[in-house]
Amino acid sequence: MDPVEVNYIAYSGGGESLAALLGNQVAAGISGTADYGPQVQAGDLKGIAVSTAERSNQVPDVPTIVESGFDVEVTNWRGLMARPGMSDGAREDLIALVTEAHDTDEWAEALDANGWLDTFQTGDEYGEFLAEEETRVRQVLTEIGLIQ
């Protein structure tokens, strides 16, 4: 199917899109395995594919998009942002605080429980990732006609 032909509906989060799927308001949805995984496991939803490089431990029987024959790999990431112009000391303090939280057993348990990948980055490495992601996503959205 040509992606331009898809009627894309944006939802504010996985819960809202899950309700639309379970309520038969939409034919398909995209969200994280933490949102959709329990319903896939219960048989209320059919898992088509996961977009990560490897199968998810949340829905291990669902193939990757690559396994399904398409050269597409996408991960869902979250980031902590701060105001521009913060001092170097404040930036380093914030990075240290986030690193400390990342290194806890509780965070490791949350990663496992939710099937999240640990792609932790900070500082300049994270800034470079954000710039590359913006370029990549803009290119894809332009190609499929969602933006110009």
CA distances from 143 to 10, 11, 114, 122, 130 (A): 18, 22, 32, 30, 20
Nearest to 37 by CA among 107, 116, 102, 104: 116
pLDDT at 3: 72
Helix axes 14-22, 33-42, angle to 10 degrees: 30
Per-residue pLDDT for 2 more than 90? no
| Rounded-to-integer distance, Cα 53 and Cα 67, Å | 9
Question: Tens digit of pLDDT for each residue in 69-107?
Answer: 988 888 888 899 898 999 999 999 999 999 999 999 999
Alpha helices in the chain, H assignment, sequence order: 14-22, 33-42, 88-102, 105-114, 123-143
User: CA Rg, the chain, in Å?
Assistant: 18
Q: How confident is the model at residue 147 (pLDDT cuts 50, 70, 90)?
A: confident
115: nearest Cα among 82, 89, 76: 76
Q: Which residue has the tokens 């496991």?
A: 41
In the predicted model, is pLDDT for residue 1 greater than 80?
no
In tens, the pLDDT along 4-58 reads: 788 888 888 888 999 999 999 999 998 888 889 999 999 999 999 999 889 998 8
Please give the pLDDT value at position 60.
92
Question: Could you tell me if 20 and 26 are in contact, meaning their C-beta atoms sit under 8 angstroms apart?
Answer: yes
Q: What is the pLDDT of residue 146?
A: 79
Q: What is the pLDDT of residue 62?
A: 96
